A and B are shown apart, each in its own frame.
Chain A
Amino acid sequence: MTTANKEVNELIKREYEHGFVTDIEVDTFEPGLNEDVITRLSEIKKEPQFMLEWRLKAYRRWLEMEEPDWAHLGYERVDYNSISYYSAPKRKEDMPQSLDDVDPELLKTYEKLGIPLHEHAKLAGVAVDAVFDSVSVATTFKEPLAKAGVIFCSISEAVRDYPELVQKYLGTVVPHTDNFFAGLNAAVFSDGTFVYVPKGVRCPMELSTYFRINAANTGQFERTLIIADEGSYVSYLEGCTAPMRDENQLHAAVVELIALDDAEIKYSTVQNWYPGDENGKGGIYNFVTKRAACIGKNSKVSWTQVETGSAITWKYPSCILRGEGSVGEFYSVALTHNYQQADTGTKMIHLGKNTTSTIISKGISAGKSSNVYRGLVKFGPRADGARNFTECDSLLIGDQCGAHTFPYIESLNKSAIVEHEATTSKVSDEQMFLCRQRGIDMERAVSMIVNGFCKDVFKELPMEFAVEAGKLLEVSLEGSVG
Chain B
Amino acid sequence: MLSIKNLHASVEGKEILKGINLEIKAGEVHAIMGPNGSGKSTLAQVLAGNDAFEVTSGSVTMHGEDLLEKATEERARDGVFLAFQYPVEIPGVSNLQFMRTSVNAMRHHRGESEMNAAEFMKLAREISKQVDLDPAFLKRGVNEGFSGGEKKRNEIMQALMLQPKLAILDETDSGLDIDALKVVSDGVNALRAEDRAILMVTHYQRLLDHIVPDFVHVLAEGKIVKSGGRELALELEERGYAWLGIKDDETAASSALSNSAN
Q: Is the CB of A440 within 8 A of B102?
A: yes
Q: Is the CB of B97 within 8 A of A439?
A: no
Residues on B with beta carbons closer than 8 Å to the beta carbon of A440? 73, 101-102, 105
Q: Is the CB of B92 within 8 A of A441?
A: no
Residue A28 is within 8 A (CB to CB) of chain B in the complex? no
CB-CB under 8 A for A434 and B162, given A441-B105, A444-B101: no
* Contacts between chains A and B (CB distance < 8 A), count: 80
Residue B178 is within 8 A (CB to CB) of chain A in the complex? no
CB-CB under 8 A for A451 and B92, given A436-B73, A441-B73, A441-B105: yes
Interface of A (DSSP majority class): helix
Q: Is the CB of A438 within 8 A of B88?
A: no
Q: Which of A2, A433, A438, A448 contacts B158 (CB 8 A)?
A: A438
Residue B90 is within 8 A (CB to CB) of chain A in the complex? yes
C-alpha gap A416/B88 in the complex (Å): 39
Residue A428 is within 8 A (CB to CB) of chain B in the complex? yes
Residues on B with beta carbons closer than 8 Å to the beta carbon of A3? 51-52
Stretch at the interface among A214-222, A382-390, A452-460: A452-460
A73 to chain B, nearest CB (A): 29
Residue A475 is within 8 A (CB to CB) of chain B in the complex? no
- Count B interface residues, CB 8 Å: 33
Residues on B with beta carbons closer than 8 Å to the beta carbon of A439? 73, 76-77, 102, 105-106, 109, 162
Residues on A with beta carbons closer than 8 Å to the beta carbon of B141? 452
Residue A49 is within 8 A (CB to CB) of chain B in the complex? no
Interface of B (DSSP majority class): mixed
Residue A172 is within 8 A (CB to CB) of chain B in the complex? no
Residue B229 is within 8 A (CB to CB) of chain A in the complex? no
Q: Is the CB of B51 within 8 A of A449?
A: no
C-alpha gap A428/B106 in the complex (Å): 23
Residues on A with beta carbons closer than 8 Å to the beta carbon of B256? none
Residue A430 is within 8 A (CB to CB) of chain B in the complex? yes
Q: Is the CB of A454 within 8 A of B92?
A: yes
Residues on A with beta carbons closer than 8 Å to the beta carbon of B73? 436-437, 439-442
Which of the listed residues A430, A431, A435 has the most CB atoms from chain B within 10 Å of its own CB? Answer: A435
Residue A391 is within 8 A (CB to CB) of chain B in the complex? no
CB-CB under 8 A for A437 and B88, given A444-B101, A444-B105, A448-B97: no
Residues on B with beta carbons closer than 8 Å to the beta carbon of A456? 92
Question: Per-residue 0/1 for B136-150: is the Cβ within 8 Å of any A Cβ (1 yes, 0 no)?
Answer: 000001100000000
Residues on B with beta carbons closer than 8 Å to the beta carbon of A437? 48-49, 72-73, 76, 80-82, 84
CB-CB under 8 A for A455 and B162, given A438-B102, A448-B97: no
Residue A468 is within 8 A (CB to CB) of chain B in the complex? no
Residue B115 is within 8 A (CB to CB) of chain A in the complex? no
C-alpha gap A428/B50 in the complex (Å): 13
Residue A10 is within 8 A (CB to CB) of chain B in the complex? no
Residues on B with beta carbons closer than 8 Å to the beta carbon of A442? 73
Residue B225 is within 8 A (CB to CB) of chain A in the complex? no
Q: Is the CB of A429 within 8 A of B52?
A: yes
A424 to chain B, nearest CB (A): 13
Residues on A with beta carbons closer than 8 Å to the beta carbon of B99? 438
Question: Which A residues, 165 to 197, have Cβ-Cβ distances below 8 Å to chain B?
Answer: none
C-alpha gap A441/B77 in the complex (Å): 10
C-alpha gap A437/B72 in the complex (Å): 6
Residues on B with beta carbons closer than 8 Å to the beta carbon of A429? 52
Residues on A with beta carbons closer than 8 Å to the beta carbon of B80? 437
Q: Is the CB of B76 within 8 A of A438?
A: yes
C-alpha gap A452/B105 in the complex (Å): 18
Question: Which B residues, 36 to 76, have Cβ-Cβ distances below 8 Å to chain A?
Answer: 48-52, 71-73, 76
Using a CB–CB cutoff of 8 Å, the interface residues on chain B facing chain A are: 48-52, 71-73, 76-77, 80-82, 84, 87-93, 97-99, 101-102, 105-106, 109, 141-142, 158, 162
Given A435-B90, A440-B105, 7 new contacts (CB under 8 A): A438-B99, A438-B158, A440-B102, A441-B73, A448-B101, A451-B92, A452-B93
Closest 7 CB pairs of A and B: A452-B92, A452-B93, A438-B102, A455-B92, A436-B72, A439-B105, A439-B76
6 residue pairs bridging A and B, Cβ less than 8 Å apart: A428-B88, A433-B48, A436-B73, A439-B162, A452-B92, A456-B92
